[in-house]
Structure 1
Amino acid sequence: MASYELKSQPSITTKPVTGAPQPASSVRDRDDAHLQRMGKKPVLKRNFGILSIVGFSCTILGTWEGLLGTFTGPLTNGGSGGTIYAYIFGWVGTVANFVVLGELASMAPTAGGQYHWAAMLAPAKHMKLISFITGWFAVLGWQTAFAASAFLTGSMIQGAAILGNDAYNALPWQATLICWCSLSLALVINLIGGKLLPRAEAVLLVVHILGFFGVLIPLVYMAVPNTKEQVFLSFQNGGGFKTQGLSWFVGMTTCAFAFGGADAAVHMAEEVMNASKVIPQALMLSVAINGCLGFGILIAMMFCTGPDLGGTLGEITGYPFMGIFLEATNSVSGSLAMSAIVIIIYVCALMGLLAAASRQLWSFSRDRGVPGWRWWSQVSTSRQLPVPALLVSVTISWLLAIIRIGSNIAMENIVSMCIAGIYLSYLVVSVLLFIRRVRGDISLFNDGDDDIINVPGAKLVWGPFRCPGIWGTIVNGYAVIYITIIVFFSFWPFTMNPTLEEMNWSILAIGGGMFFAILYYIFRARHVYTGPIVEISL
């Protein structure tokens, strides 16, 4: 096994704060001191508290809303019973993944997230390459996640228009225009800055929870229910795989994807007060809230879904849940109202997605990991926002939305690409943390220590949140196994003998993106990228 090199680092002057609850200014000072111990200058304003960052994380995860658009995948490969058990498996695995991410975020609450963690945990001689590759997995994942979510929002709005007007002829270019409008709204909200986005996220948390009941109650009350045997004991192998178990694993990935984007709150860490404690709390609260809401809507859909999965309307709109709503309520206006709740949350989630994607890109740029890093790493001094990173993130999504005009299949591959990129970045850091944990290389948390910590070559120190002892090792190990399963089956098509249109091209998409990244590393990045840069004056 490769050796880990731990080098001593000069100390810096910080302001440790102890005692009972502190004023906001004292908490900010402590957060800034913690950031300085990781070698970074505090340049963003800390406007997020526990409520707003929980709302931010919950609405980006959007588990119950996401399941409405994707539950047909596990239903085809798994059946009703298989879908329910796949969701439970995904929920448990996500809890383990969130614990690992929470531990890492508590150790190093920076906007960089995965690539910073990979750099501080990796062997010294491989640190640059491992960190660079991890950063690019995250960049590809988050930039395409933002674009894919905008695409889904545009097509969902079109679906609602079809639901409300049979004569409407949905055209691809119209979906692109709707997508651009949604992106522009997200950009405006982010550029306004200040406390608008945190306050909006707190409101969205309420909408996220109340909207669940706004959909669940009329659906359950008005639909003709299936029997419990149909719901819990029905299994299906619609993809024609050799075994029911293999079919279940292929369908299971869709349920797991409903929990994607766990690291969204992490990339806002430098704008969150008391980040080393609040970020892990937000992660655990969001997986608990979203897990319960998602399970509730899944059970409701399994009891209320007919054999034709929303009928002709579900096929035309591309979203069977709209047809199921209509079958349950027998009311176009009622179905539109229920669909509008889902669409509003999708539109508003773009604000948080843009914030997370731009912060991740900004942080990787300040450490010289992407082409044009001098521009994207700039921060507006008046707004204390990474404005160039915001603009380039929206521009990438604007350009990718044009693909929808010519090919719906290509746009669906971008959706798959975002999941593969994000989960691969989780896998790298989970494996590295597991190795460090087993070796006992991480010291206990000490808030009064002034040494630089948790950067390449420096001492590794646990944050205030961690799963101790053997339980931490078990949870970490299970997270590695779970993420490996998700990544492996995420590249599978949903049928055993797929046609060209049914083929899952995500492995080609993520491979092409990483091929470009490696070329950039060989010819340029290896000369300028050294991992997380120590910015402070020592």
Structure 2
Amino acid sequence: MGPCASLFEQGGVGGIHAGLRLPSREVACLIAFTGPIYALIGPDAAVHIPEEVPDASRIVPLAMVSTLVINGVTGLAMAITYAYCLGPLDAATEPETISNVATASRQMFAFARDRGIPFARFFSHICPGLDVPLNAILISALFTALLSLINLGSTVAFKAILAIGVVALLKSYITSIGYILLKRIRGEELLPRRWSLGVPLGWFCNIVGWAYVIVAFIFAFFPISNHPSAVSMNWASAVYGGVAIVATAYYFLYARRLYIPPLSRLA
């Protein structure tokens, strides 16, 4: 609501401050579209640790659905509360902090296990007794702390790094849901699973979910105010593009000779 109200007050995307054009409330609200997503991204947490969960094919889907219901209800209550107690917009849009250590460490471990990142043997090591990827967890925590220190020197640089979080997450959703839709369109059999919504409801959820994240992905690159400064600019496009270029170059120049896709491990 903060970004939506801020953009609307400043004339909206395409609006002219002199008042020659009306502000675009619709575009402003679409740019603020990414805010409520944070109340709905909890379910993906369980996906990153199925190897550490007993009876994962049953427990993980149950955890995802129950988390979605709880987060949706409590998120709506929080949104209503914030709407009435928001206060000054400047204070409400202060920089956020980083809190994705669990997800990052498990993703690092998974890619290292499949030899998709440098120093794969070190990051894929499972600590005996603890049965967790301790090296990946410690490195993720260390980099989280170091990234937080950037805010002490440059708020612009810190925001630029944080900007990649939402768009990268949404891109992963677009990719995974898109491949499932592609297999459905081709009439190919999906992977074996113990929990399924069935064909009609599965199609509906995939299409609606894919459309939702695509819209959110596009507007996640927009700044939250008209005529942004260096501080208020959304640097997601620059950071995301830079990481994508480096990752693509690393894959084609080196990692493709070592990377083992997860499905190949099941064969």
Distance 1:76 1:388 in 2: 43
**Structure 1 residue 534, shift from structure 2 partner:** 5.2
**Match for residue 134 of structure 2 among 375, 387, 411:** 387
**Structure 1 residue 461, shift from structure 2 partner:** 3.1
Distance 1:238 1:255 in 2: 22
Equivalent position of 1:289 in the other structure:
70
**Match for residue 503 of structure 1 among 233, 238, 245:** 233
Aligned residues: 257
**What is the TM-score when the length of structure 2 is the normalising length?**
0.86
Q: CA RMSD in A?
A: 2.5
Distance 2:243 2:42 in 1: 19
Does residue 10 of structure 2 align to residue 73 of structure 1? no
Q: Deviations along 1:336-382, whole A, 9 cap, x unmatched?
A: xxxxxxxxxx9xx95xx433321221111010000111211111123
Distance 1:441 1:531 in 2: 19
**Match for residue 251 of structure 1 among 18, 32, 44:** 32
Distance 1:318 1:529 in 2: 40
Equivalent position of 1:416 in the other structure:
163
Equivalent position of 1:474 in the other structure:
204
Distance 1:386 1:239 in 2: 49
Distance 1:266 1:283 in 2: 8
**Structure 1 residue 262, shift from structure 2 partner:** 3.6
Residues 260-339 of structure 1 mapped to structure 2, 5 A cutoff: 260-305=41-86, 308-309=88-89, 314=91, 318=94
Is the CA contact 1:237–1:247 (under 8 Å) kept in the aligned structure 2?
no
The higher radius of gyration belongs to 1
Bigger RCO (CA 8 Å, 6+ sep): 1
Does residue 13 of structure 2 align to residue 241 of structure 1? yes
Amino acid at match of 1:375: F
Is the CA contact 1:414–1:509 (under 8 Å) kept in the aligned structure 2?
yes
**Structure 1 residue 408, shift from structure 2 partner:** 1.2
Distance 2:6 2:226 in 1: 13
Q: For the structure 1 residues 275 and 476, does the alpha-carbon distance in structure 2 shift closer, same or farther, using more than 3 Å as the test?
A: same
Distance 2:86 2:226 in 1: 25
Structure 2: runs of 5+ lacking an equivalent = 15-23
**Match for residue 255 of structure 2 among 525, 532, 538:** 525
Is the CA contact 1:368–1:528 (under 8 Å) kept in the aligned structure 2?
yes
Residues 89-108 of structure 1 mapped to structure 2, 5 A cutoff: none
Q: For the structure 1 residues 503 and 304, does the alpha-carbon distance in structure 2 shift closer, same or farther, using more than 3 Å as the test?
A: closer
Does residue 262 of structure 2 align to residue 515 of structure 1? no
Q: Deviations along 1:382-420, whole A, 9 cap, x unmatched?
A: 321211111221222232223112111221222221111
Percent identity, please. Answer: 29
Distance 1:407 1:274 in 2: 46
**What is the TM-score when the length of structure 1 is the normalising length?**
0.45
